Structure 1
Amino acid sequence: MPELTPVKVRGKKGKEWAALMRRRKRLMSEDQPRDVYSSKRRKIDEKIQPHLEALPTELLQSIFVFSREVNLPLASLRLSAKLSDRHLYMHFCFQAFCKGDYFLLDPDATYTTQDLADIPVMRKIAESSISDINFKLSEYLASTHEPAFQSDVLKRKWLTWSFYREYLQKAFEKSKQDYENQQTSKSVDQGDGPMHERASKRQSIHRRMTIEPQPLDFEADDLIVRKEPEYRWMRLLPNCYIPEKLFHIPFAHDQLMFLKTVIRAGAIVDWYGSAAGERAEVALEHSIGEGIPDATRLLLHDAIGIPWQGRYLEQAYREKARRPKRNFEPIISYLKESRERSEQDNV
């Protein structure tokens, strides 16, 4: 019997295969696994958003501000989109670096709990103390959560040098206005009762600024670290740490200006709780090798606390011999000064 020639029906198999692939792709995009060849369609529950992400943006931003949890946007992309607002960032800067009446006080002066009883932000200290205790304001603030909050804000990626300069300008304007209001306000010379006592006590503890705030001249700055008392409006509390991002190499001028400013404001390096110290050592070797005197001078500051090692000076001499056209004399001079300070400390 002769063999029959097979008849091929064109288009039928292709349509079935395309329909199967479309159905399979649709099923794979859904959450629950299922048999792609099953003809029964299963009911799938809709995705339920977490309660925090489902809140309105205005309410979520209020929670973000009052909780002072600067890491909240890192929880999810949806939260990051809702909380990425420049006004919120500026609010956090004021809340961290320029908040409360204690920024008008002298942190190095000694106060009593009774003196601070009428200052709102310090009232809890007086109420919690049994006796009239003398203490330094800086020592008390260092024991609170404020330094850690300042450190968290400094770590944020959105806190760039340009944004920090914008904050410093607004903080200066606010501090300047407070100073002018204090100079024009009249003291209470007569009267009795609680209002007179409260006003007299607030004037007697020297909570007014005695030095007029001065703006920072960023363009003419020579990167020399100085500590001026009139920069109280940009003061960082003890135990506020320099973020690791300021030690990333290669260095940029904005990065060096940011590093110098936070050092002058009182920040230090956390050698035990972060990798900032190790990054600072790597950055120092890089600045010596590339012949960057400004970065070398900053990294040798006592606030960073890099232990002195003779290999830094040896590296500078090697680079000077290898590249005679580049001036390494300032770097060698800074390293010698650092060596002398280290020897004096060890005596």
Structure 2
Amino acid sequence: MGMTPTPIRIRGKRRNHILVKETIAKISAPPPKRTKTSHINPRKEAIMTATPTLQGLPQELLEIIFLHSMNISLPRSSPDLGAKLSSPAMCTTMCMRAFFSTVDHKAPIRNRKITSDPTIQSQILTSRFFTYAFFLTYVQRAHAALIKQRGKPWKETSVSVPGPEAFTGLWPFKFTKVKYLSFATDFRIPEKLLHGPFTPDKSSLLYVLVALSGTLDWEGSLAGEIAKEGLNDAIRERDERAVASLSTLLGIARAVTTEHLRFAVVEGGCEANVTRHLLFNAQILYGGSPTETLDLHDPVLWRWADERQREDDERGTSLKMMLRKASKFDMEFYEDGETDWKSIVPFPYSGEKFDARTGFDRIVRELLTRLYRNHGRKITRTRPDLG
């Protein structure tokens, strides 16, 4: 009988036979076939798929893109882009591109090529940076550009070109002679200017834009409704320049209402110049008879005037006189014998479009009516038929 070998135990760690088998199988298995993707460096692939962002572009390139596209939404898309594209120099350059440069100022007036875009201009006007102070900066920049564009010989002539000084005192017959600002036809007045509280800067910019034939977007926005409420704000704050501007904008649209007159008379104390602007604008398209929104024979107004007359208050007599004249389209802007014009904010359309000092007759009424029906942008020079 043969002897069986005696098992000998070797001290040490006990091996995991399953793990050993798996390791041997991996080693003995044939190497996998290489594919095309195995040659691509993962790090290199990540670099190739990365796309640059606008925030990562150099400042100079970003400004070029912005000025070329004239997309006002670009600086509003992020705080970072807004900070990079909102410097005073960039804002002024953008306005020069959107306004001044859209008209060929070298060509004769009749042959000038005009590419002004009212949509872009209206968007710029809504921007926070566009204040009255900035507007004057733009006027100065445009004035200098016009002088440079026309050359040294023209500069040395005795013909002067009005600049920012034309806006001193805000007399329309002066600043409407500044013809190179290049506002587009039918540009919109921003909503930020149509409501209170009003400041001198805010009222001045609103007044200038109205005088330059700015309009309200009645169909595509709430600008008209805001202006209606804003007129009451201006009356309450006794801001005559804002009242003059909003009365004109609403008068064009037949939107000066009986409620506005009541508010100015009953709540506002019938301040003379405020009532003057309201009634002068209301009468133009009134047509001589009450409408659903405006009644110059309103009992509340006449009752208030009667009460003031019983108290020997001149406001009652003055209000009755203005209401009678306005109902017949016979209320002139300046009263007879009134010569202290500096104490009265002028009618915004006075100047080349209309001389508010002119006495009323059939021709003047026709001119003023056409001025309103054309939103102040087209004045006919033909004599109306008097037959």
| TM-score, structure 1 as length reference | 0.60
2:214 corresponds to: 267
Residue 56 of structure 1 aligns to which amino acid in structure 2? P
Residue 313 of structure 1 aligns to which amino acid in structure 2? L
Q: 1:150 aligned to 2:93?
A: no
Q: How does 1:239-318 map to 2 (within 5 A)?
A: 239-302=186-249, 305-306=252-253, 307-318=255-266
Maintained 8 Å contact 1:97/1:235: yes
CA distance in 2, matches of 1:234, 1:219: 13
Q: How does 1:91-102 map to 2 (within 5 A)?
A: 91-102=93-104
Instruction: Kindly state the Cα deviation for residue 216 of structure 1 after the two structures are TM-superposed.
Output: 3.5
Q: Deviations over 1:297-335 (max 9, x none)?
A: 1111248835121221111110255xxxxx711111112
Maintained 8 Å contact 1:300/1:338: yes
Unmatched tracts of structure 2, length 5 or more? 1-45, 288-368, 374-387
Q: 1:67 aligned to 2:69?
A: yes
1:81 corresponds to: 83
66-75 or 270-279, larger mean C-alpha shift: 270-279
CA distance in 2, matches of 1:299, 1:184: 39
Maintained 8 Å contact 1:293/1:330: yes
Q: 1:333 aligned to 2:280?
A: no
CA distance in 2, matches of 1:304, 1:178: 40
Maintained 8 Å contact 1:235/1:265: no
1:15 corresponds to: none
CA distance in 2, matches of 1:88, 1:343: 46
3-state SS of 1:99 partner: helix
Identity of aligned residues (%): 25
Residue 264 of structure 2 aligns to which amino acid in structure 1? A
Residue 197 of structure 2 aligns to which amino acid in structure 1? P
| TM-score, structure 2 as length reference | 0.55
Residue 302 to residue 81, structure 1, CA distance change in 2 (3 Å): closer
1:58 corresponds to: 60
Instruction: Kindly state the Cα deviation for residue 105 of structure 1 after the two structures are TM-superposed.
Output: 4.8
3-state SS of 1:75 partner: coil
Maintained 8 Å contact 1:308/1:342: no
CA distance in 1, matches of 2:285, 2:174: 21
Residue 102 of structure 1 aligns to which amino acid in structure 2? D
CA distance in 1, matches of 2:268, 2:75: 47
CA distance in 2, matches of 1:250, 1:106: 43
Residue 78 of structure 2 aligns to which amino acid in structure 1? S
Unmatched tracts of structure 1, length 5 or more? 1-44, 117-121, 123-136, 186-209, 322-326
- For 2:130, which of 152, 159, 166 is the aligned residue? 159
Residue 278 to residue 302, structure 1, CA distance change in 2 (3 Å): closer
Aligned residues: 242
CA distance in 2, matches of 1:228, 1:103: 18
Maintained 8 Å contact 1:249/1:283: yes
Maintained 8 Å contact 2:106/2:149: no
CA distance in 2, matches of 1:320, 1:90: 40
CA distance in 2, matches of 1:303, 1:338: 8
Maintained 8 Å contact 2:167/2:174: no
CA distance in 2, matches of 1:304, 1:153: 26
Maintained 8 Å contact 1:269/1:305: no
Residue 57 to residue 238, structure 1, CA distance change in 2 (3 Å): same
Give the alignment's Cα RMSD to 1 decimal: 3.4
Instruction: Kindly state the Cα deviation for residue 289 of structure 1 after the two structures are TM-superposed.
Output: 2.5
3-state SS of 2:186 partner: coil
- For 1:90, which of 82, 89, 92 is the aligned residue? 92
1:169 corresponds to: 140
1:215 corresponds to: 163
Greater Rg over alpha carbons, structure: 2
Residue 84 of structure 1 aligns to which amino acid in structure 2? S
Residue 218 to residue 274, structure 1, CA distance change in 2 (3 Å): farther
CA distance in 2, matches of 1:317, 1:303: 18
CA distance in 2, matches of 1:53, 1:228: 41
Residue 230 to residue 330, structure 1, CA distance change in 2 (3 Å): closer
2:348 corresponds to: none
Residue 105 to residue 312, structure 1, CA distance change in 2 (3 Å): farther
Residue 104 to residue 252, structure 1, CA distance change in 2 (3 Å): farther
Residue 230 to residue 105, structure 1, CA distance change in 2 (3 Å): farther
